[in-house]
Amino acid sequence: MDIGDMRRDFESEGLDRDALDNNPVRQFQVWFEDAREAGILEPNAMSLATTGRDGMPDLRTVLLKYFDDEGFVFYTNYGSRKAREMEENPQAALLFPWIGLNRQVRIQGAVEKVSKAESLRYFASRPRGSQIGAWVSEQSKAITSRGLLEQKVAEIKRKFSDGEVPLPSFWGGYRIVPDARPWANSVAPGSGNTCPVAGLFARPLANPP
Ligand SMILES: Cc1cc2nc3c(=O)[nH]c(=O)nc-3n(C[C@H](O)[C@H](O)[C@H](O)COP(=O)(O)O)c2cc1C
């Protein structure tokens, strides 16, 4: 299948480096709001790239749950393949593909497991259905049948029918802490299919060399 004819004009404002906030997290917040206002579906969906001991890159979608100066946090099953890879090699990359805005944000950084207390706080804030979902999620394994999955959901519902759903020991968060290398934003070509603008800006170093 030849899809070489698929093209559209990139009409966008491009990037003005002088207009970027020196604080990359504040800048990310501005872009995130842009994505939300533009109606981009699940603007918090991001690709998470990891590489385990075998050196083979892997990539999947996860949902960003919150971010601040400390980093970018998502939640997952600690028994998953991604979790294993991040234990083996605690570095990862994130990509927000906001194509509707001709924009992407790329982040590289160190991986930290969030504390149990933090996972607990987040877990407690989730709706009950999502809490049950966390118990049921056995990731990185083929789902053998829908019936089996439904059976598991029913089991968990029965088990915790009387009260709060506790935090599963195998479920929690990871924080990607952006490193001091430049964050690269954006294809965002200027108008008329001209050269791409690579807007790069560096995260201020906590301890400059
Ligand atoms: C839109 C979307 C959002 C997702 N969000 C998450 C998430 O926040 N956490 C998660 O563990 N998996 C999430 N997944 C599933 C992952 O992409 C992946 O299939 C699963 O976590 C197993 O990945 P692994 O085998 O690489 O560990 C999401 C999938 C989609 C399509």
Percent of all residues in the chain with a pLDDT value above 70, rounded to a whole number: 77
Domains and CATH numbers, the chain: 17-127+169-201 (2.30.110.10)
pLDDT digits (tens, 9 = 90+) for 102-114: 788 888 899 999 9
In angstroms, the CA 15 to CA 85 distance is 35
**pLDDT recorded at residue 179:** 79
Q: What is the mean pLDDT of residues 164-175?
A: 95
Residue 97's DSSP bridge partners are: 104
- CB of 202 within 8 A of CB of 183? yes
Measure 95 CA to ligand 1 centroid, in angstroms: 14
Return the ligand 1 atom nearest residue 65 CA.
Answer: 8
Model confidence at 178: pLDDT above 90 = no
Is 119 touching ligand 1 by the criterion CB < 6 Å? no
Candidates 107, 116, 111; CA nearest to 200 is 107
Split at pLDDT 50, 70, 90, the class of 90 is very high
- Ligand 1: residue whose CA is nearest its atom 21: 139
**pLDDT recorded at residue 126:** 95
Measure 81 CA to ligand 1 centroid, in angstroms: 11
Most informative mutation of 46, 60, 88, 176 for ligand 1 (most atoms within 8 A of CB): 60
